[in-house]
């Protein structure tokens, strides 16, 4: 269902993104829209593609379009833009093909890879041990985590103990959900009241819950939390940063594409394309100097 401007405003999209409905639901993008190559085409690399991708002329790329500035809807409420969108097309350019963005939710991307619904995933994925049971990964971004709070609050968050006694919003299937689950004894060990976790299907729902004071803190990627805080200083603030974590694009486990995609990312880092995309989205501090393959493991 297409979103109306009124619903976008209710979700605070205009307040937290540069252009239009950037934190909306994933259903509006045209799944048949193919972005064409931009000139980094290598015919030898193209020839090595699996036949279905060569015949299709495009990678099917899973993205989560409610995480600006990584991926979000532009003002037409249909086109996905952002760092991951640009990076996916730059990779595809090396293979002489386009890209078809496949909007989805974070908890569906790895199962979707395993089922063959996507060729690649660029969705701020941390290559956790659990995810590596089902997928291969190629690193491309130095991410991290952040805590977003209402602008009129003053508490800092520098450790999990600072969350004790508060209501914390996380996105279902995110790394942050898993980390809080693992740290569940933190408050009891410190003799403090337990935190309360609220789960949300996507970043849009979580930001709206924070705006309406249904949660005290949103715990999510540093890219999104810092972006929202910078675009809406009268509504939100960055309450704290947490440890860095490597972000990687995902492929089906033992995919024949893994090595070639790694080489494409390496080329983009070497020729300056990667840096120019980081610069475009104000993400220079998250640059990686090199890329590596993290193969699926049992």
Domain ranges of the chain: 5-143+247-294, 145-241
Q: How many CB atoms lie within 10 A of CB 243?
A: 8
Q: Is the pLDDT of residue 21 over 50?
A: no
Are the folds of 5-143+247-294 and 145-241 the same? Answer: yes
Alpha-carbon dihedral 52, 58, 64, 69, rounded to 10 degrees = 160
- Using DSSP's 3-state secondary structure scheme, residue 59 falls into strand
Lowest mean pLDDT among 17-26, 184-193, 253-262, 271-280: 17-26
pLDDT the model gives residue 4: 32
CATH architecture of 145-241: 3-Layer(aba) Sandwich (3.40)
> What would the mean pLDDT of 11-34 be, rounded to a whole number?
45
CB 268 within 8 A of CB 90: yes
d(CA 26, CA 225): 19
Question: What are the tokens at 241?
Answer: 């940063």
From 139, 140, 156, select the one nearest 148 (Cα to Cα): 156
Q: How many CB atoms lie within 10 A of CB 168?
A: 20
- Using DSSP's 3-state secondary structure scheme, residue 212 falls into coil
DSSP code at position 286: G
Assign domain 5-143+247-294 to a CATH class.
alpha beta
Most trustworthy range by pLDDT among 30-34, 109-113, 282-286, 289-293: 289-293
Q: Is the pLDDT of residue 245 over 50?
A: yes
From 15, 106, 119, select the one nearest 65 (Cα to Cα): 106
Residue 19 pLDDT class (50, 70, 90 cuts): very low
> What would the mean pLDDT of 26-35 be, rounded to a whole number?
57
> What would the mean pLDDT of 89-102 be, rounded to a whole number?
96
Q: Nearest 5 degrees, angle CA 245-CA 126-CA 151?
A: 65
d(CA 215, CA 159): 18
Q: pLDDT, tens digit, for every residue of 114-169? A: 899 999 999 988 898 889 999 999 999 999 899 999 999 999 999 999 999 999 99
Most trustworthy range by pLDDT among 5-9, 21-25, 39-43, 80-84: 80-84
Residue with tokens 């190629």: 138
> What would the mean pLDDT of 52-66 be, rounded to a whole number?
94
Q: How many CB atoms lie within 10 A of CB 232?
A: 19
Residue 30 pLDDT class (50, 70, 90 cuts): low
């Amino acid at each position: 269902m297409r979103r109306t401007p009124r619903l976008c405003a209710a979700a605070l999209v205009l307040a937290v993104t540069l252009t239009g409905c950037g934190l909306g639901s994933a259903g509006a993008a045209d799944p048949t829209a193919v972005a064409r190559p931009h000139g980094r085409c290598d015919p030898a690399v193209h020839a090595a593609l699996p036949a279905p991708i060569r015949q299709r002329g495009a990678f099917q790329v899973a993205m989560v379009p409610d995480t600006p500035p990584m991926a979000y809807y532009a003002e037409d409420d249909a086109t996905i833009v952002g760092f991951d969108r640009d990076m996916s097309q730059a990779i595809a350019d090396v293979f002489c093909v386009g890209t078809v963005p496949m909007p989805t939710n974070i908890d569906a991307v790895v199962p979707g890879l395993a089922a063959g619904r996507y060729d690649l995933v660029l969705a701020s994925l941390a290559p956790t041990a659990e995810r590596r049971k089902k997928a291969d990964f190629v690193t491309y971004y130095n991410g991290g985590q952040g805590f977003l709070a209402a602008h009129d609050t003053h508490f800092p968050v520098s450790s999990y103990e600072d969350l004790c006694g508060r209501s914390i919003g996380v996105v279902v299937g995110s790394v942050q959900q898993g980390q809080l689950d693992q740290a569940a004894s933190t408050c009891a060990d410190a003799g403090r009241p337990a935190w309360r976790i609220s789960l949300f299907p996507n970043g849009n729902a979580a930001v709206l819950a924070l705006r309406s004071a249904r949660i005290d803190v949103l715990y999510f990627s540093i890219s999104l939390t810092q972006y929202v805080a910078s675009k809406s200083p009268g509504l939100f603030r960055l309450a704290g940063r947490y440890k860095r974590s490597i972000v990687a694009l995902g492929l089906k486990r033992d995919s024949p594409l893994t090595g070639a995609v790694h080489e494409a990312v390496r080329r983009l880092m070497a020729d300056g394309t990667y840096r120019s995309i980081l610069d475009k989205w104000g993400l220079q501090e998250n640059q990686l100097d090199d890329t590596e393959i993290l193969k699926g493991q049992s």
